[in-house]
Amino acid sequence: MRVAFLTAPEGVEEIELTEPWKAVLGAGWNPQLVSTEAGLVQAFHHLDKAGTYPVDRVLASRTAESFDALVLPGGVANPDALRMYEPAVDFTRDFFASAKPVAAICHAPWLLVEADAVRGRTLTSWPSLATDIRNAGGTWVDEEVRVCHAGPSTLVTSRKPDDLDAFCAALVKEFGD
Protein backbone atom coordinates (compact mmCIF):
# COMPACT_ATOMS: atom_id res chain seq x y z
CA MET A 1 0.00 0.00 0.00
CA ARG A 2 1.35 3.44 -0.98
CA VAL A 3 0.42 6.12 1.56
CA ALA A 4 0.83 9.82 0.74
CA PHE A 5 1.84 12.15 3.58
CA LEU A 6 0.96 15.64 2.34
CA THR A 7 2.83 18.59 3.85
CA ALA A 8 3.77 22.14 3.01
CA PRO A 9 7.52 22.86 2.72
CA GLU A 10 7.49 24.34 6.22
CA GLY A 11 5.36 24.17 9.34
CA VAL A 12 4.39 20.52 9.78
CA GLU A 13 4.33 19.35 13.40
CA GLU A 14 7.20 16.85 13.46
CA ILE A 15 5.69 14.21 15.73
CA GLU A 16 2.44 14.28 13.73
CA LEU A 17 4.51 13.37 10.68
CA THR A 18 6.97 10.89 12.18
CA GLU A 19 4.68 8.77 14.39
CA PRO A 20 2.08 7.99 11.69
CA TRP A 21 5.00 7.41 9.28
CA LYS A 22 6.41 4.79 11.67
CA ALA A 23 2.97 3.19 11.99
CA VAL A 24 2.64 2.94 8.21
CA LEU A 25 6.13 1.42 7.94
CA GLY A 26 5.28 -0.97 10.78
CA ALA A 27 2.25 -2.16 8.82
CA GLY A 28 4.55 -3.02 5.93
CA TRP A 29 3.33 -0.18 3.71
CA ASN A 30 5.19 2.42 1.65
CA PRO A 31 4.92 6.01 2.96
CA GLN A 32 5.76 8.81 0.52
CA LEU A 33 6.34 12.43 1.53
CA VAL A 34 4.46 14.65 -0.91
CA SER A 35 4.97 18.41 -0.81
CA THR A 36 4.43 21.50 -2.91
CA GLU A 37 8.17 21.90 -3.57
CA ALA A 38 11.15 19.61 -4.10
CA GLY A 39 13.91 19.36 -1.51
CA LEU A 40 13.38 19.16 2.22
CA VAL A 41 10.36 19.74 4.43
CA GLN A 42 11.13 21.73 7.57
CA ALA A 43 9.28 20.24 10.54
CA PHE A 44 8.57 22.02 13.81
CA HIS A 45 8.08 21.15 17.44
CA HIS A 46 5.38 23.69 18.21
CA LEU A 47 7.09 26.96 17.21
CA ASP A 48 10.68 25.69 17.21
CA LYS A 49 12.39 24.26 14.16
CA ALA A 50 12.92 20.51 14.35
CA GLY A 51 14.14 18.00 11.75
CA THR A 52 14.06 18.15 7.98
CA TYR A 53 12.68 15.39 5.76
CA PRO A 54 13.29 14.69 2.07
CA VAL A 55 10.38 15.11 -0.31
CA ASP A 56 9.64 11.95 -2.30
CA ARG A 57 7.23 13.55 -4.73
CA VAL A 58 6.29 17.08 -5.69
CA LEU A 59 2.56 17.65 -5.66
CA ALA A 60 0.88 17.93 -9.00
CA SER A 61 -2.83 18.30 -9.42
CA ARG A 62 -4.73 15.02 -9.78
CA THR A 63 -2.01 12.64 -8.61
CA ALA A 64 -4.08 10.80 -5.99
CA GLU A 65 -4.38 7.82 -8.31
CA SER A 66 -0.74 6.95 -7.46
CA PHE A 67 -1.66 6.33 -3.82
CA ASP A 68 -3.95 4.08 -1.78
CA ALA A 69 -4.42 6.36 1.25
CA LEU A 70 -3.64 9.86 2.53
CA VAL A 71 -2.29 11.13 5.86
CA LEU A 72 -2.53 14.83 6.69
CA PRO A 73 -0.22 15.79 9.58
CA GLY A 74 -0.98 18.99 11.45
CA GLY A 75 0.89 21.93 12.78
CA VAL A 76 -0.77 25.32 12.45
CA ALA A 77 1.22 26.65 9.47
CA ASN A 78 1.19 23.41 7.45
CA PRO A 79 -2.54 23.00 6.72
CA ASP A 80 -3.01 26.76 6.58
CA ALA A 81 -0.53 26.93 3.68
CA LEU A 82 -1.92 23.83 1.97
CA ARG A 83 -5.53 25.05 2.01
CA MET A 84 -4.43 28.11 0.04
CA TYR A 85 -2.73 25.98 -2.65
CA GLU A 86 -5.30 24.66 -5.12
CA PRO A 87 -3.31 21.57 -6.21
CA ALA A 88 -3.21 20.46 -2.53
CA VAL A 89 -6.95 20.99 -2.21
CA ASP A 90 -7.56 19.05 -5.46
CA PHE A 91 -5.23 16.26 -4.36
CA THR A 92 -7.11 15.89 -1.07
CA ARG A 93 -10.51 16.09 -2.75
CA ASP A 94 -9.45 13.32 -5.17
CA PHE A 95 -8.96 10.84 -2.31
CA PHE A 96 -12.57 11.34 -1.28
CA ALA A 97 -13.82 11.15 -4.87
CA SER A 98 -11.86 7.91 -5.31
CA ALA A 99 -13.18 6.39 -2.05
CA LYS A 100 -9.68 6.11 -0.57
CA PRO A 101 -9.12 6.43 3.19
CA VAL A 102 -7.85 9.67 4.69
CA ALA A 103 -6.43 10.44 8.15
CA ALA A 104 -5.97 13.97 9.54
CA ILE A 105 -4.71 15.18 12.91
CA CYS A 106 -4.75 18.45 14.85
CA HIS A 107 -5.12 21.45 12.48
CA ALA A 108 -5.04 19.30 9.31
CA PRO A 109 -8.86 19.26 8.96
CA TRP A 110 -8.55 22.88 7.76
CA LEU A 111 -7.52 21.32 4.44
CA LEU A 112 -10.56 19.01 4.59
CA VAL A 113 -12.81 22.03 5.11
CA GLU A 114 -11.30 23.73 2.07
CA ALA A 115 -11.75 20.54 0.00
CA ASP A 116 -15.44 20.41 1.04
CA ALA A 117 -14.83 16.97 2.55
CA VAL A 118 -16.41 17.40 6.00
CA ARG A 119 -20.04 17.96 5.00
CA GLY A 120 -22.17 15.21 6.56
CA ARG A 121 -19.22 13.74 8.47
CA THR A 122 -18.38 13.57 12.17
CA LEU A 123 -14.78 14.35 13.05
CA THR A 124 -12.45 15.76 15.63
CA SER A 125 -9.53 18.17 15.46
CA TRP A 126 -7.70 20.75 17.49
CA PRO A 127 -10.58 22.52 19.31
CA SER A 128 -10.08 25.87 17.55
CA LEU A 129 -11.30 24.29 14.29
CA ALA A 130 -14.70 23.27 15.71
CA THR A 131 -16.56 26.28 14.32
CA ASP A 132 -14.91 25.94 10.89
CA ILE A 133 -15.94 22.28 10.75
CA ARG A 134 -19.51 23.05 11.80
CA ASN A 135 -19.74 25.92 9.30
CA ALA A 136 -18.57 23.52 6.56
CA GLY A 137 -21.42 21.10 7.36
CA GLY A 138 -19.57 18.67 9.61
CA THR A 139 -20.19 17.60 13.18
CA TRP A 140 -17.28 18.28 15.53
CA VAL A 141 -16.68 16.05 18.56
CA ASP A 142 -14.07 16.28 21.31
CA GLU A 143 -12.66 12.73 21.16
CA GLU A 144 -9.19 11.19 21.12
CA VAL A 145 -9.83 9.67 17.71
CA ARG A 146 -12.90 9.53 15.51
CA VAL A 147 -13.48 7.18 12.59
CA CYS A 148 -16.22 8.27 10.20
CA HIS A 149 -17.57 5.96 7.50
CA ALA A 150 -20.05 8.49 6.06
CA GLY A 151 -19.64 8.73 2.33
CA PRO A 152 -17.42 6.55 0.17
CA SER A 153 -14.17 7.31 2.01
CA THR A 154 -13.22 6.40 5.55
CA LEU A 155 -11.99 9.41 7.52
CA VAL A 156 -9.81 9.04 10.64
CA THR A 157 -9.28 12.21 12.70
CA SER A 158 -7.59 13.08 15.96
CA ARG A 159 -7.09 16.17 18.13
CA LYS A 160 -3.44 16.54 19.06
CA PRO A 161 -0.04 14.90 19.59
CA ASP A 162 -1.19 13.37 22.89
CA ASP A 163 -3.68 11.30 20.85
CA LEU A 164 -1.10 9.86 18.45
CA ASP A 165 -1.19 6.29 19.80
CA ALA A 166 -4.93 6.05 19.20
CA PHE A 167 -4.68 7.90 15.89
CA CYS A 168 -1.94 5.63 14.54
CA ALA A 169 -3.75 2.47 15.65
CA ALA A 170 -6.99 3.63 14.03
CA LEU A 171 -5.40 4.65 10.74
CA VAL A 172 -3.53 1.33 10.43
CA LYS A 173 -6.74 -0.59 11.15
CA GLU A 174 -8.90 1.47 8.79
CA PHE A 175 -6.35 1.70 5.98
CA GLY A 176 -5.85 -2.06 6.19
CA ASP A 177 -9.58 -2.88 5.91
Which residues are known to be catalytic? 106-107
Taking residue 162's Cβ as centre, other Cβ atoms within 10 Å add up to: 11
Contact 125, 157 (CB under 8 A): yes
- φ/ψ of 39, rounded to 5, equals 110, -130
Among residues 74, 84, 134, which one has the least CA distance to residue 108?
A: 74
- φ/ψ of 37, rounded to 5, equals -140, 155
Contact 35, 41 (CB under 8 A): yes
Number of helices (H) and strands (E) in the chain: give both, helices first: 6, 12
